[in-house]
Every structure is written in C-alpha cells, then in structure tokens.
Amino acid sequence: MIELEGLTKRFGTKTAVDRLSFQVRPGMITGFLGPNGAGKSTTMRMVLDLDNPTSGTVRIDGRHYRELEEPLKYIGALLDAKAMHGGRSAYNNLLCLAQANRIPPSRVAEVLDLVGLTAVARKKVKGFSLGMGQRLGIASALLGDPEILMFDEPVNGLDPEGIHWIRNLMKALAAEGRTIFVSSHLMSEMALTADHLIVIGQGRLLADTSMAEFIRQNSRSYVRLRSPQHERLVEVLRENGFHPVTAGGGTLEVDGTTTEELGELAARHRLVLHELSAQQASLEEAFMQMTAAAVEYHAHGTIAHGGGEMPPPPPADGPGPHWGESYKGA
Ligand SMILES: Nc1ncnc2c1ncn2[C@@H]1O[C@H](COP(=O)(O)OP(=O)(O)OP(=O)(O)O)[C@@H](O)[C@H]1O
C-alpha cells in the first residue's frame, strides 16, 4: 500500500504537487491520470525519495522509502526507461542492480525471460529500441519481486503488441495481489487497464474513484435529433417532459430516453427528422472536461482560467456524486 498525506512539492514559485492525499491499494491496478504537467512524475519521484516533498508525507507499507532496508524488495518502478547504462549489456545492467540490493544473480535471467529479453541479454543497451528499453526498465522493477510496482507512462511510444503485453503483465501482477500504480495522460488507456482511478490536475486531486463508478457516471447515453422544424421540435419535447440541449450543427441532445420513444413522439406531431441517433458520451470527453481548468497550455497558447487560477479543489473524500454531470455544457 502507498499512502500520501498532504503531499506537496514546490519548485520555486511553481506548485507541482498540491496537498495530495490518497491511498494506492493492493490487488488492483490504480491508474494515475492527469494532463501533461499535472504532477504525476513528481509525485512518483517523491514516493521513491528521488525528490524531497516541500510538505506532507508518503509512506510505503507504513514506512518512508528511506526506512526500507532493501527497497527493491518492497517497491519496483519504471520511471525513466533511459536511466540504464548504455554501454553495458541488459544482463550486466540488471546484475549491478541485483548485487547492490543483495538479490541473487539467478533472478536476473528470470526477469529477462519474463520480459522476453533473453535473446538480447548480452547486447549493449544503447542499441535497444524504445520497446526493448521499456521491457528492460520493467525487468529492473521486477528484480526484487516487490509487492508494489509503479510505472510512469509505460505504454508511451510503444507499438500495439508492446502495449498489449504491458497491459496483460500489469493485470497478471495485480491478480497476484500486488499493488500496481500506473500513470497515463490518456483516459482511453486507463479505461482498459485500471480498476481504480486517481485524477489530478495542476497537482491537485480531482477524483479518487473506482473505474466502474467513473464509467457509470460518465458513460451517459443520449439521443441526438436534427429537424428542419427545430423550434417546434424543442416545444414538443419540452411539453412532453424532456430537456433538449442545443448542440452544434443545429442538433438537439436529449438525455434519459430512446430513439424509439422520440421517433414516435415526432411522428405523432408530424415533425420531419433529418437525424435520430443513439449516442454515447466518451470517457475521454469526460476526463477532458474535468481537467479543462487544470490544463496549463492549450493548443492555441492561452492559459486556462484567466491566468491559471484553479477552482477550489473537491472535498477530500472525493468530488461528490455530481462532479461528472455538467460536462456536456447543458
Ligand atoms: N525539477 C523541476 N524544476 C522545476 N519545475 C519542475 C521540475 N520537475 C517538474 N517541474 C514542473 O512541475 C510540473 C509537474 O511536472 P511533472 O513532470 O510531475 O508532470 P506530469 O504529470 O508527470 O507530466 P507529463 O505527463 O508531461 O510527464 C510541471 O509544470 C513541470 O514543469
């Protein structure tokens, strides 16, 4: 278990991590989601004592990282796949790590086999592709057979086969009862792997929820309608207790109903429809809406929220039941 309490990191005037409190539990994959620059890597670096918190604490199974006698046996991490010594072979890189942590050398061959690098074990790391480097980073994380594993953007730059492999590996490790903490800036990636979700923006906690709950709250289905008799259609919908929302391209969106119900209603009122379709709001859309105020730099170069001021953070026990409801701009 990893526990953060009021964890804060400032770099000069920049607050990279802002009073983060949450727990990462065993037996599941916890996704750590946030846009670029949200503070994910800085948080993970503080877990490993690579950065000192400005305030707050982070504990691994109740202890600070530096209190762990042989830390690789408690927690393994893939933070920067390029951190290996390029002039050394994959085998020698891992052997050095093993020796420094009193891990038997036989474990090196075992983890190389586990990540599929046995055939290139004696090759110099500087010739490795990005995917091979990621696999080697994962081998080093697994070296001490730790109960806790932390992966920072592990699928970045990988081909579909590599992505599939990492997903399955994380699932297998979680199924063994290990604690898996994995960061990403892609909601779509998290939806496929994570059981639990921690969302941050500009260093602050925006959500701490199960993936199932996130999907339940945000996979809203609705019906999209388009009619040349737009005004009359709006009237009829309202008269029948619906709450149509005007969307782009002259379309209307209506929650809590079906295409059958609205199609029949339109027919009864002799309204012509040019579109009648069932829609599903994407999780990516929900995530973007949630973090919109916390994204530092938008594509057009402006800073969100009038100079970067953030709305107040949600309460410590999560943002409440309605935090996902306003994203469609109704
Ligand atoms: N050593 C440092 N000195 C100054 N600022 C830093 C330092 N490290 C990180 N930052 C800043 O802290 C903020 C958080 O960065 P961090 O790398 O933790 O974000 P991230 O969520 O991991 O983003 P990404 O997905 O882009 O890796 C950013 O604004 C970054 O520029």
Q: Could you say which residues of the chain have pLDDT below 50?
A: 298-330
Whether ligand 1 lies within 6 angstroms of the CB of 13 is answered as no
CB-facing half-sphere around the CA of 200: CA atoms within 13 A:
26
**What is the pLDDT at residue 109?**
94
**What is the pLDDT at residue 87?**
80
Beta strand extents in the chain (DSSP E only): 2-11, 14-24, 28-33, 55-60, 75-78, 148-152, 179-184, 196-201, 204-210, 221-226, 245-246, 252-255, 275-280
Phi-psi region of 305 (alpha: psi -120 to 50; beta: other; left: phi over 0): left
**What is the pLDDT at residue 285?**
77
Ligand 1, atom nearest to 39 Cα: 18
Ligand 1, atom nearest to 34 Cα: 21
Q: What is the CA radius of gyration of the chain?
A: 24
What is the distance in A from the centroid of ligand 1 to the CA of 173? 28
Whether ligand 1 lies within 6 angstroms of the CB of 297 is answered as no
For ligand 1, atom 17, the nearest C-alpha belongs to 41
The model scores a pTM over 0.95: no
What is the distance in A from the centroid of ligand 1 to the CA of 272? 53
What is the distance in A from the centroid of ligand 1 to the CA of 161? 29
Task: For a ligand 1 pocket test, name from 17, 42, 82 the mutation site with the most ligand atoms within 8 angstroms of its C-beta.
Answer: 42
Distance between CA atoms of residues 95 and 106, nearest Å: 9
**What is the pLDDT at residue 92?**
92
Whether ligand 1 lies within 6 angstroms of the CB of 268 is answered as no
What is the distance in A from the centroid of ligand 1 to the CA of 306? 21
Query: What ipTM does the predicted assembly reach?
Result: 0.95
What is the distance in A from the centroid of ligand 1 to the CA of 91? 32
**What is the pLDDT at residue 296?**
54
Whether ligand 1 lies within 6 angstroms of the CB of 38 is answered as yes
Whether ligand 1 lies within 6 angstroms of the CB of 52 is answered as no
Whether ligand 1 lies within 6 angstroms of the CB of 257 is answered as no
**What is the pLDDT at residue 294?**
63
- Mention every residue, 6+ apart, whose C-beta is less than 8 A from residue 1: 23, 24, 25, 26, 60, 61, 62, 148, 179
Could you report the per-residue pLDDT of 34-44, keeping only the tens digit for each?
988 899 999 99
Distance between CA atoms of residues 144 and 60, nearest Å: 15
Whether ligand 1 lies within 6 angstroms of the CB of 204 is answered as no
275 close to 261: Cβ distance less than 8 angstroms: no
**What is the pLDDT at residue 292?**
75
Distance between CA atoms of residues 65 and 48, nearest Å: 6
DSSP state of 327: T
Q: Can you spell out the DSSP letters for 86-144? A: TTSBHHHHHHHHHHHTT--THHHHHHHHHTT-GGGTTSBGGG--HHHHHHHHHHHHHTT
Ligand 1, atom nearest to 152 Cα: 22
Residue 23: strand, helix, or coil: strand
